[in-house]
Amino acid sequence: MVTGTVFFNPTKQVNLNQLVLTLAGDEKSRVQVQTGTGKHRHSHYKEAVRGLVSRNELLAPGGLMQPGSYPFEFSFDIPFGSLPSYQGKNAWVIYGLEARADIPMWFDTTCKAAIGVFGAPPDQRGPPIEILANYPGSLKGVLTGGGQSEYKSGPGFRLELAQTWYQPGETVTGTITIHNPEGKHLRKLKVHLRGVEVAQAGGHRDSSISASHDIDVPIDGNAPGEPLQFSFQLPPDMNDSVPGSVMSFFWMLEAQLDIAWGFDVKAEVEIKIFH
């Protein structure tokens, strides 16, 4: 809920038609598109907008107002499950308030203010995740008990997380169990956390990495089949996950096993962030 007070402060007598406060929220995206070839090649932007919320509240019906200060309290309900605010490179979720005083035979007086909205976290932390990655190639996350359950030939690993959503500032913990029956030389094991922004407009799509956090998981001296523990603290200023329609922002956790003279083995899974 958004609550507050609007002050109307006329410095002289005015005839007010009405004083209205508007709450508006939109998700927006922008995609750069290139057309033509050679010297005729040029670029332009496609844009998309989707309205999320629009509410009006009549604060004062109008009348003759003497000089002074007039407070008008207001309250708005933002629908549960609304997208959280987001400010990115080519994607935005913006909420704002605008108070407008309609004065006859004169320019309307307006005042605007941006507001921040956080996403509502789910009731549960999400199911545990278990991912089996095989050489060569990569595998996106599957729920425990689903998908592939046996290793193919060559090295691989099993990535396990206890939950799938977190709050900023919390600690992500997990285990990685390496499978290397042929004794191939393993250089290093890394865990990456990537913030991915996706913008869509006019049938075009653009994605970019807007945040990145990396950690090394020591593997020297690890006994075969012994789970490797890893943990890292999430930054306190992380963006919420934003599952929009014309834009989205999500966090991908990727584990990457670097194999000497061979293809790396990767596994990735989306984790959700909510304040």
Kindly report, residue by residue over 188-242, the tens digit of the pLDDT: 999 999 999 999 999 999 999 977 888 888 888 777 788 999 999 998 988 999 9
Using the structure block, give the residue that is written with the tokens 């035979």: 105
Rounded to whole angstroms, how far apart are CA atoms 37 and 56? 48
Q: For residue 124, how far is the Cα from the chain centroid?
A: 19
Task: Judge whether 195 and 209 are in contact, CB under 8 Å.
Answer: yes
Q: How confident is the model at residue 102 (pLDDT cuts 50, 70, 90)?
A: very high
What does pTM read for this prediction? 0.83
242 occurs within a structural domain: yes
Q: Are residues 137 and 51 in the same domain?
A: no
Q: Quick one: 167 and 93 in the same domain? A: no
Domain end (from 49, 84, 115): 115
- Three-state SS for 59? strand
- The residues pairing with 49 across neighbouring beta strands, listed in sequence order, are 28
Order of strands, edge to edge, in the sheet holding 171-179?
129-134, 156-161, 171-179, 228-233
H helix intervals, 12-91: none
How far is the C-alpha of 147 from the C-alpha of 174, rounded, in Å?
20
Range of the domain at 240: 129-273
| CATH number where 68 lies | 2.60.40.640
CB 131 within 8 A of CB 270: no
- Please indicate, yes or no, whether residues 147 and 253 belong to a single structural domain of this protein: yes
- DSSP H or E segment with residue 94: strand 91-102
The residue-averaged pLDDT of 99-116 equals 91
Contact status, residue 255 vs residue 190, Cβ threshold 8 Å: yes
- Given 115, 146, 173, the domain boundary residue is 115
Q: State residue 152's pLDDT score.
A: 62
What is the SS3 assignment for 40?
helix
Of the candidates 38, 214, 17, 180, the one whose C-alpha atom is nearest the C-alpha of residue 106 is: 17
The radius of gyration of the chain from alpha carbons, rounded to an integer in Å, stands at 26
Residues 9 and 76 in one domain: yes
Residues 6+ apart with CB under 8 A from 36: 42
Query: Which pLDDT tens digit goes with each residue over 141-193?
Result: 443 334 445 666 678 888 999 888 899 999 999 999 988 888 888 889 999 99
pLDDT in tens, 6-55: 999 999 998 999 999 999 999 999 998 888 777 777 888 899 999 999 99
